[in-house]
Chain A
Amino acid sequence: MIFLIWLLYIPALYLVYGLRLALAGMGIYLHTFPTMLLHGAVFVGVYHLVKLLKKLLKVQPRIPANAGKKDKTISVYGVVTVGFTAMTALQGYGMLSRSMQGYLVPICAYVVLALSLNLVVGISGELSLGHAGFMGVGAFTGIVAATCAQNAVGDPFLRLVIGMLAGGLMAGVAGLIVGIPVLRLRGDYLAIVTLAFGEILRSLTENLHVGLDSAGLHLSMSNGGVQLQEGGKMIISGALGATGIKPISTFVAGILLVLFTVAVVLNLVHSREGRAIKAVRDNRIAAESVGINATTFKLKAFVISAVLAGMAGALFGLNLGSVQASKFSYTTSIDILVYVVLGGMGNMLGSIISTVVLYLIPEFLRSLADYRMIMYAVVLIVVMLCTWSPKIKNTISLFTYTMRTYWNRLMRKKGGSGK
């Protein structure tokens, strides 16, 4: 709903306020449609965030259990837009290092992947270990689609959108094919089958050869199976992956995709369907006995998640000059799962934050050289223990409690109450 209001707001805002004035100082220039769209979004996002902050700053004795839902929704949009504004501002002032600029688009892609996986793992409650497979399908489809549209569509942003739509569609089809058999299984068996499907998808894309010439697209599953006419070129050549891609992904497009994903996921979660999905997660038998078709709803969540992952894949694939199928293996699926679980299952804001932080930790630990991945592993284990282990959690809360009472006593003494 909020997303729709935004869309209505934006043209009006653009005309009335002339955001150029406000943002030109930050080094952001309003030229194309997507940036215009975003600046409107930023404006509304900041507005909502200020409202939220005001609410939070007011002293509240106790927040009612269910009242935070709407504010949380707003704060997800707010965090994304504030992050975007901060990054563009830093970029405008030239304060962002070159490597940091290179991380912006992959981070957006991984945020979308984490959000979409959270839909399956957190909301639908099924452990999926093959998410990177859908990402790969989306990436290669997107690359093919964008390359095909190269002559017909001049605007790179539009071409990226075409790539993302094609990637999302294809990944959705893959999700449907995978989902129908997979969702019949339960628990760990489901996990292992998603892992198997992810590896199958990777194995297929690893052997895919696609070429484009004047006669059209040529597909083959064997090396040398594609015979091109003169002037044609290979888009994907097997295990070597796709090469010679024109990088058209931008940070703006990435953020727009993140916002789109947040809108889709949050609206789904808070809708009738979302409640049905959560009911199936919490107790399948009880949900079925009140007339919810468990498989249908699980399949819906699974396919939507696959579509979003495919779009993220297209964004990721069109970001660099080349990409290999081995990138979309089981290791990447595991990485995304780590982002989701560490951020908190079912918590979208948590997914976004943990993705950004965990993606950047190894980069910030570069000064540790060889020790950085070990440190990453240690951080991962320690965070998991601190957030999940009942014993450690109790110790921590006991510690903070003692510190607080001690602090309070100290303060009271200083205040000189005389007792």
Chain B
Amino acid sequence: MDFLQYFIDGLYIGAIYAIIALGYTMVYGIAKMLNFAHGDVIMVGAYMSYTFVSASGMPVYLSIPIAMVICTVLGIVIEGLAYKPLRGTSSLAVLITAIGVSYFLQNAAQLIWGPAEIGFNRLVNAKPFLLFDGKLRVSPEAMVTLAIAVVIMVALTTFVNRTQTGKAMRAVAEDRDAAQLMGINVNRTISITFAIGSALAAVAGVLLCSKVQSVSPTVGSMPGIRAFTAAVFGGIGSIPGAMLGGMLLGLIETLTGAFISTQFSDAIVFLILIIVLLVKPAGLLGKQVQEKV
């Protein structure tokens, strides 16, 4: 029974990682850049939700769309100001710029909302379901989070596979120059990708802070890194891979923390990641691209 309890907890945190990882994987797959500022967009989303909830007293779930809109705008602005001028240059340059953006967002948040942790309202104010005579607790938030993650994944897959814009995204991911020659507006496609990624980050931010019940300027950085490893784990660039990677990471983290060692759960998570990458260098669901001479 203990195992089942931890399994459900693992799925809960895993679903949050999965949503963040979906954002990472979209941006990486199409713009070919590691967006280190993604974790901080999560934080901004959470703060936005907090601000609207505390100002108007609206329920947390109503603040999600507002946070999404603001983060989408933020994502497009960041992309246009900081990343677009560097398109086509060394990927390391873009990486450092992303780190600069991450510093900027963290410190701006610290300036506006202060460095201290602020209490965050729960997403759903309902009693947890008790199963098996109260031995198993399933919080409604965990179920909502899981449902949201699955809905997002299905929606994203349909979007990428079935719509015109999704087709353009896949084309840009495969070969940017060829896509441009076929009349696809590459810059616009990348901007849309950033918009989607940032909107997902806002959702993840609210869900994450609703789980830990607090928000601080650095709340997004560690989950951001975790989700990034999750995206790599599942095969970066692949949407189902990000989902699988996030879920697995959440499960591994919770289960090792519960049954093996709490101190070393970090080390074990990363060790498993390394072993997986050594066996399958492109991740679990990633495509192995053959090198051409």
Contact = CB atoms under 8 A, between A and B. Distances in A.
B177 interface: no
B236 A196 contact: no
Contact of B270 (A184, A199, A345, A376): A199
A381 B104 contact: yes
Interface in B124-160: none
A377 interface: yes
Nearest to B32: A188
Nearest to A389: B85
Contact of B96 (A185, A189, A207, A337): A337
B34 A191 contact: yes
Interface in A188-204: 188-189, 191-193, 195-197, 199-200, 203-204
Contacts, number: 121
B181 interface: no
B293 A189 contact: no
Nearest to A374: B107
B266 A199 contact: yes
Interface in A374-395: 374, 376-378, 380-381, 384-385, 387-392
B45 to A, nearest CB: 19
Contacts of B62: none
A200 B96 contact: no
Contact of B93 (A203, A204, A222, A341): A341
Interface string A19-53: 00000000000000000000000000000000000
Interface stretch (B186-194, B196-204, B225-233): B225-233
A285 B232 CA distance: 25
Given A196-B273, A341-B92, A392-B85, A384 B291 contact: no
A342 B85 contact: no
Given A374-B104, A380-B99, A384-B97, A185 B277 contact: yes
A380 B93 CA distance: 11
Interface string A363-374: 000000011011
A402 to B, nearest CB: 21
Contact of B82 (A199, A285, A381): A381
Contacts of B293: 285
A361 interface: no
Nearest to B222: A330
Interface size class of chain A, counting residues whose CB lies under 8 Å from the partner chain = 35 or more
Nearest to A378: B104
Interface residues of B, number: 44
Given A199-B270, A342-B96, A384-B100, A189 B232 contact: yes
B264 A207 contact: yes
A389 B107 contact: no
Interface in B4-62: 28, 34, 36
Contacts of A188: 28, 34, 232, 236
B260 interface: no
B274 A390 contact: no
A121 interface: yes
Contacts of A370: 110-111
B163 interface: no
Given A192-B228, A199-B267, A337-B96, A384 B86 contact: yes
A390 B101 contact: no
A334 interface: yes
A199 B274 CA distance: 12
Interface string B65-98: 0000000000000000010011011101101110
Interface string A207-250: 10000000000000010000000000000000000000000000
B137 to A, nearest CB: 29
Given A381-B82, A381-B100, A345 B277 contact: no
Given A185-B277, A193-B274, A389-B86, A374 B93 contact: no
Contacts of B264: 203, 207
A204 B103 contact: no
Interface in B266-293: 266-267, 270-271, 273-274, 277-278, 281-283, 291, 293
B102 to A, nearest CB: 8
Contacts of B258: none
B270 A200 contact: yes
B91 to A, nearest CB: 8
Given A371-B111, A374-B111, A380 B103 contact: yes
A300 B236 CA distance: 29
Nearest to B108: A374
B278 A184 contact: yes
Contacts of A384: 86, 93, 96-97, 100
A127 interface: yes
Contacts of B100: 377-378, 380-381, 384
B263 interface: yes
Contact of A376 (B103, B108, B110, B229): B103
A338 interface: yes
A294 to B, nearest CB: 12
A245 to B, nearest CB: 23
Given A181-B274, A200-B266, A385-B82, 8 more contacts: A188-B28, A195-B229, A196-B273, A222-B263, A341-B96, A377-B101, A377-B103, A381-B82
Interface of A: 121, 127, 181, 184-186, 188-189, 191-193, 195-197, 199-200, 203-204, 206-207, 222, 285, 330, 334, 337-338, 341-342, 345, 370-371, 373-374, 376-378, 380-381, 384-385, 387-392
19 contacts: A127-B92, A188-B28, A196-B270, A197-B270, A200-B267, A204-B267, A207-B263, A222-B263, A337-B99, A338-B96, A374-B104, A380-B96, A380-B99, A381-B101, A384-B86, A387-B93, A390-B88, A391-B85, A392-B85
Per CB-CB distance, the 6 closest pairs between chain A and chain B, nearest first, are A377-B104, A196-B270, A380-B100, A377-B103, A389-B85, A381-B100
